[in-house]
Structure 1
Amino acid sequence: MNESLSLNARLYEQVALIRRTEEVIAEIYPSDKIKSPVHLAIGQEYICAAVIEHLKASDYACGTYRGHGVYLAKGGSLNSMMAELYGKSTGCAKGRAGSMHLVESQHGVIGMSAVVGTGIPVAVGYALAIKQKKTTDVVVVFMGDGATEEGCFSESINFAALHKLPILFVCENNQLAIHEPIDKRWATPHITQRVSTYGIPTKQFSKPDIFAIHEYVGEQIKQMRQGAGPCFIECFTHRWSEHVGPNEDYDQGYRSLEAAEPWRKNDVLITLGETLAPALRDSIDTKIETKIQEAVNFAEQSPFPDPKELYDYVYAK
């Protein structure tokens, strides 16, 4: 991320990088060059961009199986990510993990998991370690609304609250657990109402306001670094793509295109871009396209893992 740019430009650059990367992934996917399922977050990128903009290099972030944006926003290598999707040995997990298990320890990207909710207790463990080491680092863990229905979510929130751990819980609430709407799963659509009973600060963002999220998170992380303990934010959003795969699925009957229109009309990428001078926006877009093409070339030219290395990197050393 170019720190010399204004906040608007930095956020635009981050959202645009994630958006265009996933659009290119969707274009490539039917060719079968990508060797793992892909869960795209097109339309949701502004959340991780707003939050992670506040993190230092020594801080940590943990995403979900829909985690390309978290990985990139935290500084993960696009070349390594693309190679991982291709199953190549130069991937961030040596071609063994694919899209759902991205990791890059040197940039503070905690290994992601395909099992719903399981990144939450791992992230809390990182936060506990930070507190024991008495540093000012923080952890951010992302989850979907479906993950809040897992037992480990409640256990993790309670443990973090009890021990005042430096962790921000971010719920990207697209109101769907795969194909099941939240109003068929809960009597209340407001997850913050449940979480507030654990005695930690909560905040709900019902609209795609990247600046409101950025401002609130900045203040909360500042307080965390001073020992204030955890916080939970719930960001309502909309997943443009199908649950898994490169396409849209508004014809499947579980959601309507009409309900999506307000979100598409308020696309953060467009509204952010409109705040920039056209020349600057074009310059950023050109740089992003070049970066993505270089990553695709890197992935396609990289070798597959040697079968003799099948059991390497399976266990920690």
Structure 2
Amino acid sequence: MSRVSDERVAGAIEDVGLYAQLYRRMLLIRGFEDRVQSLFLRGEVYGTTHLYSGQEAIAVGIASLLGPDDRVACTYRGHGHLLAMGTDPEALLAELLGRETGVNGGLAGSMNVVDPEHGVLGCYGIVGGSIAAATGAGLSLRGTGAVAVAYFGDGTTNQAYFFECLNFAKVFELPVVFVCENNGYGEYTPFEAVTPGGIVPRAAALQLPTTELDGMDVLAVRAAGAQILERVRAGGGPEFVEARTYRFVGHSRSDPGKYRPEGELDRWRERDPLVVTESFLRDELGMGADELKEVTESVETELDRIEAAALAAPFPAAVSIPEFNDGRT
């Protein structure tokens, strides 16, 4: 087992332009989710929502290493993964608003978006569904050099999908990276209360190479991810990642998060992925305050345009469902 915390792997730092792009993408995801929450409270978003705020470094760090032939499968908390993979944010917001210009014509809502153009097999409302989808994709990717990535939460590690799919992937040495985004809670329950022995030992028991990393640091995610993906692409078989992270919002739209111990959220906010990356850009790569401000303002301008366009988009035309008479009606 290897462990990568908030340490930067030697030689992993490339250039200010790359990390500025990663920072901008995380800003876009955070701002997008803020808009989604505001629109939901105004009654514009149909169905439920599960926001990715606080976990941005994982999706952005991994996606920065993936190519057009790779595939990812996400959870119902999938907005961040979609945006990290390049899904058009205007089309994604329109989807959440039920508009016909949405990624899936306004019919998928928040939890079930599919974007094959950008390698996204889908977002799955069923806990563990992403693991099964990525494992299936791994079968078709054997020998191609491409990989499938499954994102899932800590609660999934108590589901049958977890054990069945990791076992299957290992038996057939599939090119799959299983990424557990451990945000500390399975809905409202601390993962330690229902996960005896922790998470990594479960994957290790099935002989998958495992990595623990700081999921609040996009540099750490990218550095570890580069090594993992290189091994998997080369035919090394599946690998498992536990990325420790934290969601800054409740589980879903109706959860105020009152079950969290006092001070816990504040402590995790000190490790906000945006703060961590901004500090690195400023202190290590010499990016000035004006440059950082310009990035932030450009994202807000883009989000203003996206929100206005999505709200102005038409709703889908009524769909007529044919009636079938098989003699029983």
Indicate which of 267, 276, 296 corresponds to 1:262.
267
Gaps of 5+ in 1: 312-317
Distance 1:289 1:310 in 2: 41
C-alpha displacement at 1:293, in angstroms?
1.8
Indicate which of 229, 234, 241 corresponds to 1:233.
241
| 1:229–1:272 Cα change, 3 Å | same
Q: Does 1:147 align with 2:156?
A: yes
Amino acid at match of 2:277: L
Distance 1:303 1:130 in 2: 38
| Residues 58 and 107 in structure 1, CA contact (< 8 A), matched pair in contact too | no
Q: Show the counterpart of 1:315.
A: none
Distance 1:178 1:94 in 2: 29
CA-to-aligned-CA distance 1:63-122 (integer Å, 9 cap, x gap)? 100011100000111111001100111111111111111211111011111111112111
Q: Show the counterpart of 1:314.
A: none
Q: Does 1:61 align with 2:72?
A: yes
Amino acid at match of 2:146: D
Matches within 5 A, 1:167-316: 167-188=176-197, 190-205=198-213, 208-245=216-253, 249-250=256-257, 252=258, 254-274=259-279, 275=281, 276-308=287-319
| 1:122–1:237 Cα change, 3 Å | same
SS in 2 for 1:227: coil
Distance 2:321 2:115 in 1: 20
Q: Show the counterpart of 1:8.
A: 19
Distance 2:168 2:200 in 1: 17
SS in 2 for 1:111: strand
TM-score, structure 2 normalization: 0.87
SS in 2 for 1:101: coil
C-alpha displacement at 1:46, in angstroms?
0.9
Distance 1:207 1:105 in 2: 26
Taking only aligned residues, the RMSD between alpha carbons, in angstroms, comes to 1.8
Gaps of 5+ in 2: 1-13, 282-286, 323-329
255-264 or 4-13: bigger deviation: 4-13
179-188 or 159-168: bigger deviation: 179-188
| 1:294–1:268 Cα change, 3 Å | same
C-alpha displacement at 1:310, in angstroms?
6.1
Percent identity over the alignment is: 32
259-268 or 204-213: bigger deviation: 204-213
- Structure 1 runs of 4+ aligned residues shifted over 6 Å read none
Distance 2:135 2:70 in 1: 13
| Residues 240 and 248 in structure 1, CA contact (< 8 A), matched pair in contact too | no
CA-to-aligned-CA distance 1:154-202 (integer Å, 9 cap, x gap)? 11101111111111111010121111111221222x3111110111110
Matches within 5 A, 1:27-42: 27-42=38-53
| 1:187–1:206 Cα change, 3 Å | farther
Matches within 5 A, 1:43-192: 43-131=54-142, 134-188=143-197, 190-192=198-200
Distance 1:137 1:8 in 2: 24
| Residues 213 and 242 in structure 2, CA contact (< 8 A), matched pair in contact too | yes
C-alpha displacement at 1:309, in angstroms?
5.4
Larger Rg, first or second structure (1 or 2): 2
